[in-house]
Amino acid sequence: MQAGRYSTYALLALVLIFPLLDRNNSHIDFLVNAGAFILLALGLNIVVGFAGLLDLGYAAFFAIGSYSYAMLASAQFGLHVPFWVMLFFAASIAALFGILLGAPTLRLRGDYLAIVTLGFGEIVPQTFLNLGQWTNGPNGIGSLDRPSAPGLLLGAPDWKLHLFGLNDATPYYYVTLALIALGVLLASNLQNSRLGRAWMAIREDELAARHVGINTTVTKLSAFALGASFSGLAGVVYSAKLNLVSPDEFQFSVSILVLSMLVLGGMGNIWGVIVGSFLLSFVNGFLLPQSTNLAHAVGLNLDFTNYRFFLYGAILVGMMLFRPEGLIPSRQRRAELRVALADAGVAAQEQAEYEGPPRT
């Protein structure tokens, strides 16, 4: 136990000083993107992991967060809302859309809910694509405002301290890290609260939940809203660093990617979700491009990044076969899945016995 604690501290310390150890900006840049996806995964985990509402269109809220920043903090409309205000603002806008898109799905469960959210996931980027006069359509919005550090607080003579350069991802790294820490704190607080228990209860038995006085409408909408607010934060950081948003960043594959992160890491478990999310980002943003470079260096004309979806698929199938509860599962999920699998096994056996021995 003690050793485990020390290695956790060592890992945290490493994460804190990493940009000082590794001065390669592309590495830091990659880590910021990975961090944005950790935020997304933490948010989706509230909806899918805690409340059990299968959302296949989560990228829509990422898009809404990103476009909020792009429209309100750029030359697009000449509005230059400060980055720090936008964090709060975009989270609120995304939460509002979480409620708006969640409301029509309240009566739906399981497959039906998944299909409707899938539809929303398609509608939102299409809308941004087609509202050309506001969003520049397929070209997206560029030259977004860069955050300025609150200079006076840091001892500078002026409020606007330009720490956030175009070619230095380090300040974004620390912003993302702080947001993740906040996200973990809020998500674990939620999990151990009246609201967290209500989500779990709805996931287990909605009818029984109503009978202990849970207003399922409010409870589900709060899951959609809070989950979406995380992706609002992710959208702001991600697009501010990238300095650009365009509709093709928010395709269906992004929703599936984030969901795969939950499946890989362990749905419902905050640490599992972080690990799963980091691993997939690592494969996606680092391992595949690097192996492609390596292949090119030795004269092989191979582009491994083209095999990305093949790899996601393989990971999902592998996980479902060998460790369906994820790498670091929540206790509850593991128990649920073990029982479900055992029941399926018994059913299969009964079926086999009923049909008699296999014919050869």
Partner 1 sequence: MSFFQLTGLRKTFGGLVAVNDLSFSIEAGSIVAMIGPNGAGKSTVFNLITGIYRPTSGSIDLEGRSLCRLRTDAITALGVARTFQNIRLFSFMSALDNVMTGRHAQMHANLVASLLHTPGQRAEERRAHERARELLRFVDLEPSSHEYARNLPYGHQRRLEIARALATDPKLLLLDEPAAGMNPREKDDLVALIERIRKSGVTIFLIEHDMRVVMNISERVTVLDHGEKIAEGPPEVVRNDERVIEAYLGRADGAA
Residue 103 is a binding residue for partner 1 (CB under 8 A): no
Per-residue contact string for residues 252-271; x = within reach of partner 1 by CB under 8 A: --------------------
Residue 341 is a binding residue for partner 1 (CB under 8 A): no
Contacting residues for 86 by C-beta, under 8 A, at least 6 apart: 68, 69, 72, 73, 236
Shortest Å distance, C-beta 229 to partner 1: 10
Binder among 85, 181, 335, 346 for partner 1 (CB under 8 A): 335
Q: Which stretch binds partner 1 (CB under 8 A): 36-44, 116-124, 331-339, 344-352?
A: 331-339
Residue 213 is classified by DSSP as T
Which neighbouring-strand residues pair with 36?
none
The pair of three-digit structure tokens given for residue 20, joined into one six-digit string: 């000082």
Shortest Å distance, C-beta 214 to partner 1: 5
Binder among 195, 242, 258, 288 for partner 1 (CB under 8 A): 195
Half-sphere CA count of 273, side-chain side, radius 13 A: 29
Residue 190 is a binding residue for partner 1 (CB under 8 A): yes
Shortest Å distance, C-beta 342 to partner 1: 12
**Burial grade of 116 (CB within 10 A; 0-12, 13-18, 19 or more):** middle
Please provide the DSSP assignment of 314-337 as one string: HHHHHHHHH-TT-SS--HHHHHHH
3-state DSSP assignment of residue 74: strand
Q: Where are the beta strands (DSSP E) in the chain?
A: 141-142, 149-150, 160-161, 244-245
Q: Which stretch binds partner 1 (CB under 8 A): 75-83, 116-124, 165-173, 333-341?
A: 333-341
Residue 211 is a binding residue for partner 1 (CB under 8 A): yes
Binder among 72, 198, 275, 288 for partner 1 (CB under 8 A): 198
Residue 54 is classified by DSSP as -
The pair of three-digit structure tokens given for residue 110, joined into one six-digit string: 């399981």
Binders in 226-255 for partner 1, by CB under 8 A: 226
Shortest Å distance, C-beta 205 to partner 1: 5
Binder among 125, 196, 265, 266 for partner 1 (CB under 8 A): 196
3-state DSSP assignment of residue 150: strand
Shortest Å distance, C-beta 13 to partner 1: 26
Residue 350 is a binding residue for partner 1 (CB under 8 A): no
CA distance 60 to 112: 18
Per-residue contact string for residues 115-144; x = within reach of partner 1 by CB under 8 A: ------------------------------
**Burial grade of 212 (CB within 10 A; 0-12, 13-18, 19 or more):** exposed
3-state DSSP assignment of residue 299: coil
Residue 5 is a binding residue for partner 1 (CB under 8 A): no
* Complex with partner 1: residue 339 or 347, whichever CB lies closer: 339
Residue 193 is a binding residue for partner 1 (CB under 8 A): yes
Long-range contacts of 204-207 (CB under 8 A, 24+ apart): 206/109
* Complex with partner 1: residue 215 or 349, whichever CB lies closer: 215
The pair of three-digit structure tokens given for residue 10, joined into one six-digit string: 């060592």
Residues found near partner 1 in the complex (CB under 8 A): 186, 189-190, 192-198, 200-201, 204-205, 207-216, 222, 226, 332, 335-336, 339
